[in-house]
Copies of this chain bind each other. A is one copy, B any other.
């Protein structure tokens, strides 16, 4: 996870573009990584997965990809995966499987605004969403039966919330709150967006799911309560998921670190992306104790795939997160700063941000600022 060991000076990264614009933004992110000076020595390996790969081969996440990731790589970058428009027998999302198989238990999703003439009405915010990444309804334990009396279908899904998984997501949230605080302290006061105590907001719906979300909430609360010294400087608050979405849009500046069960985290992070211009700029890292997979939050965008106009920023920032979680924080910060500079200038923008630039234009602009 948040590499406390020395950062490896040579890293091998699995590249899994998967579907649609994943094939455009992952190579873009690679180019930026390769252009880092005094970063680690990079090696890359291209790996298969995705819905298109499933259509060709009958499997969405081949064992070979998993083996190479596990045996040879320090981390990976995943592009995006297309969702079939109708039910397809045997198909199951490879990114959900990857998270589970590599035990990538926290999905770390920073969403921050950048002041730019291109977004004159942009709300200011700087939040980090920690999404539990292995359970909840994502365990995909489902079945359907036919009611013998009515002949109608009845479907069931299991939602699983464990103390084990809730705790490690909570620990990640409180630790990231401290890490963010440390990074902020390196900036002059007037350049800090968040000026209060670090804060963790726990999202749940325990007014309805008193047992599952009750366990989630109490377990995350206990992380602070049982480490009161370590986390004494971190404030803790709670928010019901429906109010969370409401408040996020009314006062996004009120959030620092937000920690949520899997499905709520999925919804909240897409919502937060709407506040910073485009899904095309929001990165994530799927983080486990032994592996990290960077992944843009956006999807495969079949409508613009192949046109060379996909926004590479989410993928580039995801590559930064990958480096950060491998311990190469200074290189990651360089990448973030270069991206922020391009956005702040507001001239080289892909169409999702109202511009006319191409993926390559944005990559070149980032390289110029690196």
Contacts and interface: CB of A to CB of B under 8 A. Distances in A.
A279 B246 contact: yes
A264 B263 CA distance: 10
Contacts of A175: none
Interface stretch (A20-28, A152-160, A184-192): A152-160
A interface, how many residues as a size bin? 35 or more
A30 to B, nearest CB: 27
A212 interface: yes
Copy tally for this chain in the complex stands at: 2
Interface of A: 83-84, 87, 92-93, 96, 121, 137-138, 140, 142-144, 147, 150, 152-164, 205-212, 214-215, 218-219, 240-243, 245-250, 263-264, 266-271, 273-275, 279, 299
16 contacts: A87-B210, A93-B207, A138-B208, A140-B209, A142-B211, A144-B215, A153-B162, A153-B163, A155-B162, A157-B211, A242-B266, A242-B271, A246-B279, A249-B275, A267-B267, A271-B271
Given A152-B162, A155-B215, 20 more contacts: A87-B214, A137-B209, A140-B209, A144-B211, A152-B164, A155-B162, A155-B214, A156-B158, A156-B160, A156-B211, A157-B209, A242-B270, A245-B245, A245-B274, A246-B270, A246-B274, A249-B249, A249-B274, A250-B274, A264-B267
